[in-house]
């Protein structure tokens, strides 16, 4: 359900960069029937991404990311390859990749699919670089992926 909130917020507010203040968002989401715990978790996720943006993101990374056993067990290989593609293409900085991985591991899913990784990467790129930089990624996020569809 928390992931549904993130997708709703992206669809309704972030593409046009029109997100209201947190208290207004909380009220609107509660009025739509989302649970308070899920709302708090979703908005905390976004706040952690905003914290990365405010610290400044180092786009150049010369390091090599080794995945933990739990990450390899829960995130499918296609998702990890997609993250590597985004990072090596210069689209996703290392701190944003770490945010995507952290958020993927926090999902209440036994296995995190490529679809979930794409949606999380879309959120990260949108919040860190702006809606225009995320538009091309929106085209490759397939609504038929096993991630929940965009809510309208």
Percent of the chain predicted with pLDDT > 70? 66
Phi-psi region of 17 (alpha: psi -120 to 50; beta: other; left: phi over 0): left
Q: Is the pLDDT of residue 93 over 60?
A: yes
Please classify residue 152 by burial: count the beta carbons closer than 10 Å to its beta carbon, then call 0-12 exposed, 13-18 middle and 19+ buried.
Answer: exposed
pTM as predicted: 0.68
- Rounded distance between C-alpha atoms, residue 25 and residue 7, angstroms: 14
| pLDDT confidence band for 81 (50 / 70 / 90) | very high
Nearest CA to 46 out of 3, 87, 83 is that of 3
Average pLDDT, the chain: 76
SS3 content of the chain, % helix, strand, coil (to 5): 65, 0, 35
Q: Is the pLDDT of residue 111 over 80?
A: yes
Residues 6+ apart with CB under 8 A from 151: 4, 7, 8, 11
Q: Is the pLDDT of residue 147 over 50?
A: no
Per-residue pLDDT at 112: 92
How confident is the model over 41-78, as pLDDT tens digits?
888 877 776 676 666 555 566 667 889 999 999 999 99
How confident is the model over 1-34, as pLDDT tens digits?
666 777 777 677 665 556 678 888 888 889 989 9
């Amino acid at each position: 359900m928390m992931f549904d909130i993130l997708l709703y917020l992206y669809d309704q507010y972030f593409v046009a960069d029109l997100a209201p203040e947190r208290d207004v968002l909380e009220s609107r989401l509660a009025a739509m029937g989302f649970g308070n715990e899920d709302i708090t978790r979703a908005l905390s996720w976004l706040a952690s991404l905003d914290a990365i943006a405010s610290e400044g993101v180092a786009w150049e990374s010369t390091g090599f990311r080794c995945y933990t056993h739990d990450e390899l067990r829960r995130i499918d290989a296609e998702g990890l390859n997609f993250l590597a593609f985004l990072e090596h293409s210069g689209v996703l900085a290392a701190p944003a990749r770490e945010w995507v991985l952290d958020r993927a591991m926090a999902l209440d899913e036994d296995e995190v699919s490529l679809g979930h990784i794409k949606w999380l990467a879309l959120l990260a790129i949108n919040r860190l670089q702006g809606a225009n930089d995320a538009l091309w990624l929106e085209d490759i996020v397939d609504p038929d992926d096993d991630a929940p569809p965009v809510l309208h």
